[in-house]
Amino acid sequence: MNVIGIDPSLSCTGWAMMDGQKLLTWGHIKTKPGNHGRQLVQIQHEITQVLIGHDGEVALEWPYYAKNIKTTITLGEVRGIILAVCEHCGITPASYSPSEVKQAVGCKGNASKQQVGQMVRALTGAEGLTEDESDAVAVAMCHASRMRGNNNAS
C-alpha cells in the first residue's frame, strides 16, 4: 500500500511516501516567515506537486491541542489547505492524533519529536530526516499499520 504521511505546520510541513514499511521518498515544505497568506499559498502549491498523480492514500496528523489560540487557528488553516488539495486530487485523507502516531512507531504517547525521530530512523534505516519529515514517516507508518489491522479483521 502506497501512503503519503503529512505533518502539517505553517513554518515546515513534512511529508513522506511509503510503500508498506519501505520509505520511498520524503521532503518538507519550508516557508519564509512574514507573509501568512504567501506561506499558505506555498504550502498549497508544493503539496499539490507531491499529491498530483498519487494513487495511494494520504494520512495527516491531527493536532489535539495547541499552546495558544493563534497556533490552533494557524494549524487549522494549514490542515484546511492540505484537505482542499487532497479533495482536488480525489483523495480522502485519514487523520491520526499525535499519540496514535507515536504509539504506531513504538513510542509512548508523550514521546518527544527526537524520540520519534530515533525510532523512525531505527525502523527505516533512513538518515538525515528532519523532525518534520520523521513525523510524516511516523504518520504514514501509523496509517499503514491501521490499514493492515483492518484488512486482517476482514
Q: What whole-number distance in Å separates Cα of residue 25 and Cα of residue 52?
A: 15
The residue whose grid cell reads 489547505 is 81
**H or E segment and range at residue 100:** helix 98-104
* 82/97 Cα distance (integer angstroms): 16
Q: Which residues pair with 19 in a beta bridge?
A: 2, 22
| C-alpha grid cell, residue 63 | 493536532
Q: Give the separation between CA 43 and CA 47, rounded to whole angstroms.
A: 6
Q: Do the beta carbons of residue 139 and residue 101 sit within 8 Å? A: yes
Active site residues: 7, 61, 132
